[in-house]
Structure formats: C-alpha cells, structure tokens
Amino acid sequence: MRRLILSANATPYEGGQGLNLSQMIEGSRDAFDVAVYSRATFAGINSHPVSESKASALIGNVRPLRRLREWHAYFSDKHFDQHVATKLNGAEMFQGVTGQCLNSLKVAKKNGSATLLDCITTHIDDFGAHQDRECAKFQVRPPIHLRHRERMRHEYERADAIRVMSKVARRTFIERGFAEDKICVLPPAIDVNKFAEARFDEPKFRISFVGLIEPWKGFHYLIDAFNALDVPDSELVLWGGTGTRNVSSYIGKQIARNPAIKLRPVEVRRHGYDEVYAKSSVLVHPSLADGFGFVVAEAMASGIPVIVTNNTGASDIVVDGVNGYVVPIADSGAIRDRLAHLAAHPSLLRDMGRAARETACALTFEKFRDRYVSCLNSLAA
C-alpha cells in the first residue's frame, strides 16, 4: 500500500483546521498507509504529535505579549515545519498545510515524494489584503505576518499541486497566474445527521453569526445591517469569542446602544448545534475572504437559510434566492435588505431552509473521500 504523510499544525476535530485534518485522515486511511504529524494523536493512525514552540508558548502565556498574535502564529507554524522536516522519510506522497510546510515540502521532494499543499484560505494576497484593510479599521494587528505570507507564496510554487476548498478560492489562484491543472477543488463533507432541523418556532427573528469575531470576518457590516433593520422582536446573536481588546470594546459599545445584540462567547460544537443553528432563523456569514466556511454548511444542514458574501467559498453551494442569498462583500445595505425580506415572509424561512438542508445532504463523506483519493492518485501518477 502506498504511503501518505499528512502534516498539519492542528488538533484533529478542533476548530476549522482540526476538522479539515480529521476529514483528510478519514478520507485517505482506507486507500493509503497514512502517517500524521499534528498537535495530538489520532486513534488508529500512525501519529506523531508535535509540541508547541517555546517562542509561541511564551507569547501565548504572557499577557502583554498576546497582542503579538502574528508572531505567535509565525513561530508556531515555523517550529512545526522544522520539526516535521527533520523527521520525514520516504513516502509516495506528502501533504502539508499552507504556512506550515515550506521546509517539509523541500525535504519531501528530495525524498522523491509527490507533494500536495492544502490551502484552507483564498490565495494569501487576496486573504491578506482583506485582513489588512479591515484590521486597520479597528487598529489591530493582522494575524498573519509578512514573513509568514512570504513562506506561503514559496510553498505555492514548491508544491506539485494545491488543494483548495472552493471554486472561489481556486479563482484567486488562477487570477494570479497559476495553471488550472495545478489547483484541485475539494469541498469538505458535512454529516447532516449531527444537526437537528430548525423548527422556526422561536419567539424572535434570530439572526446568528458564528465564528471568530475578527475584522476580516465582516461582523461589523452585519451589525450595521442589523442596526438599520426595522423588524420588531428580532435579535442578533454573535456566537464566538473576540480576538482583540479593540474588537471587544466595539462589541460592548454596540450592545450598550442596542440590547438586541447578544454576545455568546462559546464554542458552538461543544455548546450544541441544536442550541445555536436549530434555534436561529438565518445565519449570516459576511466574511470578506474565506476558503470555504464550515459554519455555512453546518447552518444549511440544520435547515436554515444563509446569507454569505461572494468571496466566501461556501457561496459555491448557495443558490441565490433558493437556499440563501449571496451578497457583495462589505455591503451592509444588501444584508439588511435580505434580512428584511426574510422577516417579512416567514414562509420563505421554511422553504429556503428545506432547500438548504437538501444541499447539505449532497455534501457526503463518500463524495469527499472519492474526490480526495482521486486527487491523490492523479498526483502520484
């Protein structure tokens, strides 16, 4: 059996990266002899846990240094990459994650491995531009350092192929001169059986935002839209934690002005999908740039309509006006108009919600596995 080495500076099943890693492991384990380098072991797999770097641990544990989050990520990913690079041995294929595998890719290619780069965002020039602009509005530091971005660009060139999670992400590479046959589109899977279907019997028109409350996620455009929305018995719930003091201060001021805005700093997967998605009327994912957006698929699996931007990868699965809406980035007015229309036509919530769940049902693990294995086989060939 051919050998595949997976490398990701993440803990399986934790966060978006961990969920992505777990799907890669499960999707490849029956077809390949899989070894995994990550932050924790994975049951039944040849696992090699990698500890955190001393530099990133210091930044994370010392309060005054926590604002240096771009350095924390840089040191963490660089340390992870250097460790993996010293441990690699012969394998037919190697797969690493952007920002975490520059040296590993070099060693893997030297060992004769075919190499696949797993890119969970849009191209870093696209992703970084949106981060820089939106973070500047809040006077916070972007989380990806310029050195980190440069490593990613070199990884793009060094890898034999690049896996992206959506056609949206693929477009950002093609626009920058990458050959079409180098970019493999592989959307994630969703298990709809884990999600209770919304009943739409809550007393309020509940608008939910789920994820990191960070500037490039566009939450502030959603708040502007909600503040301009004239819908009685409505509320906006932000499910997630604020990453910086300035964002926390902004959220606090908005809640003071409009008590219908709620902050719930919980991890949704642990809090319970049925307590979040199934009790919502609609999910709004106003991100300025996203490789996909797991929360969109999760909301659709729960049978609620979604509103996403045209630079979010999950817009690939949104049929405008059927199972949700696709709006331009940074357009509060467009978000407000779609919310007002849904609130004024309650039957649409159920109709679009049913269509959303049907869409999510098509994102099966079997399809993911078949596409992934096919991508790896093509790479090896």
Task: Assess whether pLDDT exceeds 80 at residue 65.
Answer: no
Secondary structure (DSSP) of 312-353: BGGGGG--BTTTEEEE-TT-HHHHHHHHHHHHH-HHHHHHHH
Q: What is the pLDDT of residues 72-97, one digit of tens each?
A: 999 999 999 999 999 998 899 999 99
Global confidence as pTM:
0.95
338-356 mean pLDDT: 97
- Domain 3-188+365-380, CATH: 3.40.50.2000
Per-residue pLDDT at 66: 76
User: What average pLDDT does the chain have?
Assistant: 95
In this model, does residue 63 exceed pLDDT 80?
no
Whole-number percent of the chain with pLDDT over 70 = 100
Residues 205-261: pLDDT tens digits? Answer: 999 999 999 999 999 999 999 999 999 999 999 999 998 999 999 999 999 999 999
pLDDT at 59: 78
What is the per-residue pLDDT for 281? 98
pLDDT of residue 308: 98
Alpha-helical segments (H) within 139-230: 146-158, 167-174, 219-227
DSSP code for 160:
S
pLDDT at 5: 97
N-terminal to C-terminal alpha carbon distance within the chain: 15
**pLDDT class of 67 with cuts at 50, 70, 90:** confident
For residue 160, count CB atoms less than 10 angstroms from its CB and return exposed for 0-12, middle for 13-18, buried for 19 or more.
middle
CB 84 within 8 A of CB 94: no
pLDDT band at 349 (very low <50, low <70, confident <90, very high): very high
What are the C-alpha distances in Å from 258 to residues 57, 84, 220?
38, 49, 14
What are all long-range contacts of 325-332, with beta carbons under 8 Å and residues at least 24 apart?
327/286, 329/130, 329/218, 329/286, 329/288, 329/289, 330/218, 330/221, 330/288, 331/221, 332/221, 332/222, 332/224, 332/225, 332/228
pLDDT for the residue 377:
93
- The values of phi and psi at residue 240, to 5°, are 155, 175
pLDDT for res 270: 85
What pLDDT is attached to residue 55? 81
Question: Given a cut of 80, is residue 171 above it in pLDDT?
Answer: yes
CA distances from 175 to 97, 124, 148, 179, 303 (A): 21, 12, 21, 10, 34
Q: Determine the pLDDT at residue 345.
A: 95
Percent of residues in the chain assigned helix, strand, coil, to nearest 5:
50, 15, 35
In the prediction, which pLDDT does 68 show? 82
The pLDDT value given to residue 127: 98
Is it the case that residue 38 has pLDDT exceeding 90? yes
What's the whole-number mean pLDDT along residues 272-287? 96
Give the pair of three-digit tokens for residue 262. Answer: 């709620």
CA distance 174 to 169: 9
CA dist 182 and 117 (Å) reads 10
- CB count in 10 Å sphere of residue 255: 16
Q: What is the CATH number of domain 192-361?
A: 3.40.50.2000
Q: What is the average pLDDT across 45-60? A: 88
Q: Where in the sequence of the chain do the CATH 3.40.50.2000 domains occur?
A: 3-188+365-380, 192-361
d(CA 75, CA 54): 9
Do you know the residue count of the chain? Answer: 381
Give every strand in the sheet of 306-309, ordered side by side: 261-264, 234-239, 205-210, 282-285, 306-309, 324-327
Is pLDDT above 90 for 174?
Answer: yes
What DSSP string describes 89-136? ---SEEEEETTS-HHHHHHHHHTT-EEEEE--SS-HHHHHHHHHHHHH
Placement of tokens 């932050």 in the chain: 39
